[in-house]
Amino acid sequence: MNDRMNLSETLPFERHAKQVLLRVRGAFAEIVDALPGRIARPHELCKSLKIDMKLAWKVMKVAHGADQFMVAQHIPGSNAIELFLRAASGQDVPSARIESAVSAVRDFERLIDVHAGDRTTLEMMLLSYAGEGRVQADLAQRKAAFAANGYIWGVQAATQLKVDFLHPATENGRLDIATLRGFIGLRRIRPNVPWVIARARVSDDEGKLHRAENRQPLDPAEDDSQETAGAPLLREFCSEPLPRFRRVSGPHGFLEDELVEGEVGNTGAVTCITGEVARSAASYYRAEQNRWAALVVRMHTPCEALLFDLFVHEDLFGPIEPELHVYSELAGGMPIPPIEGRERDRLPTWDIVEYLGKGTSVVHTPHVPRYAEMIRSSVDKLGWDGERFDVYRVQIQYPIIPTSVLMMQELPEAPVG
């Protein structure tokens, strides 16, 4: 026994974990199989052993788990295991099976000591290898991070919104980009916290800035507004009284709209949506430094959901299949794009780009009140026909911060001649 354990301690984590967890699963299954009658569900185990339903549910999850790397999520604590094994012994389960389970659990405890130091860390490590149940486990971790980040940074929101419209510009071969940005239900967790709610710039694949001077508010009333310090609010879709801002120049060529300090909690919560258009902002043909149309939303605010929509005019590219990429921004420095050399920062994601259809009638969402009305109002202000846009959507629950979320589409070659 000692020789086997010493050998297992030298194994790489994945192999060691698989060996131990398969043994635990097998030992629990052997005990369940040895009980009188057919035990296939937690309530049957609960009745047979006279243990509580929670413990019975965990035992059955271990014994019948399809993914060995998820087994650790359900292995009961030491006191509960002792109760389970004592109850099984009382049902004449062979002592060899009980001893095998005791030994398997001891191996599991050694696995924790060798590779992680504590069970919580071990379970997080195992998620990287899990298949079944990983999406739910990831979501639980992100939800916990949302709560912790809200406390740390002193602010949180129900929804972060980013909408990009791509439309042919009057200048041949170029496109206009209109953008809505903002937050629904943004509230402070502690007093005196200013917060940047929007950053804007247009750049090529190498991060070179383009034509920022062409940026105009969708609501012309904001051109001369002193009340909102130049932030291009869509007043009709913001909370009342209007949120107060200051507009500042940020690093790397960003223009930032900073929400000023205010009250904490629900009574100080705001909904703030900005809208701008950059005329003739970029070429929609491929070039050496301009291969991708990369639309970006930067996640720096703890929020329950991200809604990221892309409207592409039918005359630009035809049907497309945008790719979704999520990049860590922990390293700091130049933000994405460019993406070259940043593969190490790319995070795994289970989320997808969904094609919703064409026109403004397909955009309804519970995440943003009066959203379809907001979209119709925006395209009307721009003088565009909303029914000629294809709509692509990314929805992410409890998005990770700080990250950049990109919808990317390779640009077409310029026509010859």
- Reported as a single tens digit per residue, the pLDDT across 147-177 is 999 999 999 999 999 999 999 998 888 899 9
> How would you label 32-45 residue by residue, b for 16+ Cβ within 10 Å and e otherwise?
bebbeeebeebebb
As to burial, measured by CB atoms within 10 angstroms (0-12 exposed, 13-18 middle, 19+ buried), residue 228 is buried
Handedness of CA 91, 96, 99, 104 (dihedral sign): negative
Q: Position 181: which residue type? A: R
List, as one string, the DSSP characters of 326-380: EEE-TT-SSPSSP-TT-GGGBPP-----EEEEESGGG---TTSTTHHHHHHHHHH
170 or 302, higher pLDDT: 302
Whole domain around residue 379: which residue ranges? 142-410
Q: Is the pLDDT at 205 greater than 50, yes or no?
A: no
Number of domains in the chain: 2
Q: Which CATH number goes with the domain that contains 226?
A: 2.60.40
Residue position matching structure tokens 């970006």:
296
Looking at the domain assignment, is residue 310 inside a domain?
A: yes
Half-sphere exposure of 312 (CA within 13 A, CB side): 25
Provide the 3-class DSSP secondary structure of residue 291: coil
The CA distance from 356 to 362, in Å, is 6
Claim to verify: residue 155 and residue 128 sit in the same structural domain: no
Looking at the domain assignment, is residue 415 inside a domain?
A: no
Q: Rounded mean pLDDT of 247-268?
A: 76
Claim to verify: residue 147 and residue 260 sit in the same structural domain: yes
Q: Rounded mean pLDDT of 273-299?
A: 84
Q: How many CB atoms within 10 Å of residue 287?
A: 12
Q: Is the pLDDT at 21 greater than 80, yes or no?
A: yes
| pLDDT tens, residue by residue, 373-406 | 999 999 999 999 999 999 999 999 999 999 999 9
Claim to verify: residue 165 and residue 23 sit in the same structural domain: no
Claim to verify: residue 158 and residue 111 sit in the same structural domain: no
Q: Is the pLDDT at 78 greater than 60, yes or no?
A: yes
| Residue 225 φ/ψ, nearest 5 degrees | -75, 125
As to burial, measured by CB atoms within 10 angstroms (0-12 exposed, 13-18 middle, 19+ buried), residue 92 is exposed
**Which one of 114, 132, 150 terminates a domain?**
132
Residue position matching structure tokens 């009188």:
36
pLDDT band (50, 70, 90) for residue 411 = confident
Claim to verify: residue 124 and residue 163 sit in the same structural domain: no
